[in-house]
Each structure stands twice: as C-alpha cells, then as structure tokens.
Structure 1
Amino acid sequence: MILAVLQSRMTSARLPGKAMAPLRGEPMVWRQVERIRQARSLSKLIVATSVEPVDDPLAAFLVSRGQAVLRGAAGNLSERFARALEAAGPVSHVVRIKGDCPFVDPAIIDKVVREALDSGAAYASNRRLRSYPRGLEVEVATAGALGVALAATDPEDAATASPFARVREQAQPQAHCVAPRDLSGLDWRVKTPADYGFARAVYDALYDADPGFSMQDVLDIIQGRQDLARWAA
C-alpha cells in the first residue's frame, strides 16, 4: 500500500485559516484532496491535522466529505506521521504533501512514486535537486526508512522537525526527479494574502475546464498576465 499524508492546519502567521479559504467555491484543502486523489499510484490518503480547537472546523468538514482524518498533538508532527502509519495498516511507502500547495500535480506525484518504486530507493523526491516550483514538492519514503527516522527523532525536536527531514539526511539510497527545465526560482506556495490571490486567479482560469490542471497549464496561463507576473518564469 502506498499512503499519502497531507499535512493541513488552520494556523498560519500570515494567512490564518487558509486551509478553509475558498478556491472556486470549495476550501483549499478540499481542492488539494481532489488533486491528490487523481494520482493513480496512491492507495490511500490521510489528512493529518491537530487536536487543537482551531482545527475542529477543518476536521469536521473533511469527515463530512468522507475523507480520512488523523488528529494529533499540534506540537508533534512525528507523532502524527507515526499514527498515520499505524492507522493505514500495512504500508510500503509514504508520500508527504504539505498543506500550502494547492497546485500539487497528480502527474508529478505519480512520477516521484514511480521513481521510488523503479529505483528501490529508500527516499525519492523532486525536492533535493530543486527544479520544480516550490509548492509542487513530493517526497516519498519507504515505511522502513520513515520508521527508522521516527524512532530516532529526539522528543525535544518533535515539535518542529519533520521526520522526513531526518529521512532526507539519513536514508540511502536516494532517487531524484528533475523537471525538463529549471523552474526552481518560482514559488507557488500559499503563505500570504497575495499568494492566495494568485491561487484564486489560477483556479478561476483553469479549474472549470480541467480540475486536474497541470504544472504546464499554470505556466501557460500566467504568461502574459501582468497581474500574475511575479509568479511567472
């Protein structure tokens, strides 16, 4: 089984509540769920959030839509990953997607998973050798490599450190996916109100015609649009 874990929370210093901010009439987190579910390589998706009251609306919404949700301590990301592994049952690989990435591309998820499977690598990503826009990162680790990282995580670091950071440092062998051209200077993450405005503009332009629009579709639509120039190549 290949398990995807989407990290999502309502807290954000610059854009509080962004997970539930609407994109074409649905919360951003749901648009991410839709896109991740289109990846053919995945067996199961769990959204990991916290037990804090601020995340209650997020969890309740997802559960009402039939989406599996796992809640854990806000200050312990490692615990949430460990519990996701346990809840999912026998898992061979874990795919990590972050919650500020509404443009996560199903085809890129499949590409990184395929690289992990074909290479036999303990860790595969399009992140370590950066060539894709930020916000399209996909990380894949074997359940064994992630388990070792979780066991080695110092309790004092669990509040802030992702176990995938330790996987990146320690797991061998590793495999890397590289884009056809270097787009590493672009940042499509939603961290500020301006970023959210960009996401809304792209979804307004692309979603109705193709809910699974690709990275190339985003590149095409922002070319020649002055209002989106800061996010263009």
Structure 2
Amino acid sequence: MNRSALVVIVQARMSSSRLPGKVLMPILGRPLLARMLERLNQCQTPFTTVVATSTDPSDDQIEQFCRDEHVAFFRGSLDDCLDRHYQIAERWKADIAVKIPSDCPLIDPRVVDQTLQFFLDHPGEYDFVSNLHPATWPDGNDVEIMTRACLQRTQLEATKPLEREHTTPYIWDTAPESFRRGNLSWQTGLDYSMSHRFTIDYQEDYAFIRTVYEELYPENPSFSCEDILALLERKPEIYAINADLAGVNWYRNHLNELHTVSPNQTRVLSN
C-alpha cells in the first residue's frame, strides 16, 4: 500500500482539563509527544503521521514542536475532533484514516501493526476496525481505523457533541448497522483494559509513564507491552503508582448517551 494512502492521525492539544500541557511534559529529556511519535515510527506498516491540533492560541506550542521536529500537522476546531480527522483525510487524500490519541506514549507499535494488518488483510470487508470495542489490551494501546468513505459519512451525519468530540462514537455506538465493523482482541485471551493503565490524564499517570521509560528505554527503546507487564511483575510498586485510576475513562460521563457501553467498562474516579 502507498504510504500516503494510510494516514495515522495523532490528536493533541495543550488545554487538557485534568493535566494541562501533558503532551509536552518531559520524558527522559524529550516531550511526551516526541516519545509517542518515536513509538509510532517503530511500526513496520508504512503510513504518514499527522498531528491534529487546534487553532486555539495555546496550541501554538504544538505547531512549533511539529515544525521543529519536521512532523506534519493540521490545525482545526478545538472541540470538533471529528472535523479535524475529516479535514486531514481529505487534505492528505487518505484512503484509510487511523485515530490514535496523543495520551498513549506507551503504545506498542506491534499492537498498531497487528490492528492495521487485520484491516489490510480483509480488503473491502470493513468500514471500521479497532482494538477498543471491546478493549482487551492495557488502556493506552488505542487504535481505530476507518475508510475515508466511512469518515466522510460520519462527518455528515454525526451531530451529538460526544460524537464530534470523540470522533468515532457515531460509527461504533449509534450508527446504522450498514457500517461494517471489526474488532481485534489481544491474542493472549486476557483482558487488561480495566486493570492496567498506560495512558495519561492525571499526574499519577505521568509519574507512572516517566518511571516505565526510565526503567526500560535506556536498554531497549522499542520495549513492548509485554516488557512493561514483566516490569510491573518485578516491581509492583510501579504498577501501584496509578493503579487507583485503572478503568477510569471518558465513558463514565456518557453512560446515559452510549448504547453499547455498560457500567462495567468504566469506573468513576474516587475522591
């Protein structure tokens, strides 16, 4: 497949309500976003990576980062992430668009490759493929793949604020059955999606991710999900850093709106 036909879109903004500026927080002397893009560059599947940020002045820093790092970027609506993805797919003339949020700096490139390969091995069979519906890998290995036609239709038909903000719910939750959806599960048969948290939304997550990098990166910059799990087995005190946040995700605020998400797929943050 032509590299330009497949675009991986990394949505990033500075105005996180819970941890502002998280995407540029330092990990071993480099911004978190740089570490995440480094992980994606380790993928074997050829694709173009584009950082999707907003036109809000706070995101001037992300534009400057992208310019300094020679990373493609696009600036669009602050809250309408669906429109950002749509505009990028159109501008880059991408046959396939892949959504990967910027709060996944521990994402395993092998998981990205496996999910992309599943989609590519079934040409014409799916409009949308992910590893999230339902999720099985540790939280923070998020991959959602959609055809350009699927994204175009979603852009036209999705109207609810959560569908615009989170890009894909119209496809996997409320869309007509004419969308052909597939899901890839962790081949181990395990489900760590509610027990292991490799994403960043809180200060404890940052401490966890920074510690994992300090432990694994110096000897193996391409460490895997399995390497992280082995580390947590050896040093459970690292797992404990953000264990209280495991299972906390955006679903918790929209259970009354979502049709395919049950309360056991999210957890309310305890005070």
Task: Supply the distance in 2 between the matched residues of 1:142 and 1:159 (Cα, whole angstroms).
Answer: 17
1:95 aligns to what?
98
Q: CA deviation at 1:133?
A: 1.0
What's the secondary structure of 2:16's corresponding residue? coil
Q: CA deviation at 1:157?
A: 2.7
Q: Does 1:183 align with 2:192?
A: yes
Cα offsets for 1:194-224 (capped at 9, x unmatched): 1100000000011122222110011011113
Q: Does 1:79 align with 2:83?
A: yes
Aligned equivalent of 1:172, options 155, 174, 179 = 179
Q: Does 1:108 align with 2:130?
A: no
What's the secondary structure of 2:97's corresponding residue? strand
Structure 1 runs, 4 residues or longer, greater than 6 Å off = none
2:147 aligns to what?
142
Cα offsets for 1:162-199 (capped at 9, x unmatched): 33111223363222111112212222211111110000
Q: CA deviation at 1:113?
A: 0.8
Q: Does 1:122 align with 2:120?
A: no
Task: Supply the distance in 2 between the matched residues of 1:151 and 1:176 (Cα, whole angstroms).
Answer: 24
Task: Supply the distance in 1 between the matched residues of 2:43 and 2:155 (Cα, whole angstroms).
Answer: 26
Cα offsets for 1:24-57 (capped at 9, x unmatched): 1100001111111221224201000011111111
Q: Is the 8 A contact 2:103 2:199 kept in 1?
A: yes
Which 10-residue stretch deviates more, 157-166 or 26-35?
A: 157-166
What's the secondary structure of 2:117's corresponding residue? helix
Q: CA deviation at 1:149?
A: 0.6
Distance 1:78 1:182, change over 3 A: closer
CA RMSD of aligned residues (A): 1.9
- Within 5 Å, give how 1:19-98 maps onto structure 2: 19-89=23-93, 91-98=94-101
Q: Is the 8 A contact 2:45 2:113 kept in 1?
A: yes
Return the letter of the residue paired with 1:175: G
What's the secondary structure of 1:32's corresponding residue? helix
Return the letter of the residue paired with 2:119: A
What's the secondary structure of 1:49's corresponding residue? strand
Task: Supply the distance in 2 between the matched residues of 1:163 and 1:193 (Cα, whole angstroms).
Answer: 25
Aligned equivalent of 1:18, options 5, 19, 22 = 22
What's the secondary structure of 1:223's corresponding residue? helix
Unaligned 5+ segments in structure 1 are: none
Q: CA deviation at 1:95?
A: 0.9
2:206 aligns to what?
196
Task: Supply the distance in 2 between the matched residues of 1:4 and 1:49 (Cα, whole angstroms).
Answer: 14
The number of residue pairs the alignment matches comes to 231
Q: CA deviation at 1:142?
A: 1.1
Q: Higher relative CO (CA 8 A, sep ≥ 6), structure 1 or 2?
A: 1
1:162 aligns to what?
166
What's the secondary structure of 1:190's corresponding residue? coil
Percent identity over the alignment is 28
Which 10-residue stretch deviates more, 73-82 or 187-196?
A: 73-82
Task: Supply the distance in 1 between the matched residues of 2:46 and 2:99 (Cα, whole angstroms).
Answer: 11
Distance 1:64 1:159, change over 3 A: farther
Distance 1:36 1:70, change over 3 A: same
Return the letter of the residue paired with 1:201: T
Q: If the length of structure 1 is used for normalisation, what is the TM-score?
A: 0.92
Task: Supply the distance in 2 between the matched residues of 1:37 and 1:71 (Cα, whole angstroms).
Answer: 22
2:136 aligns to what?
131
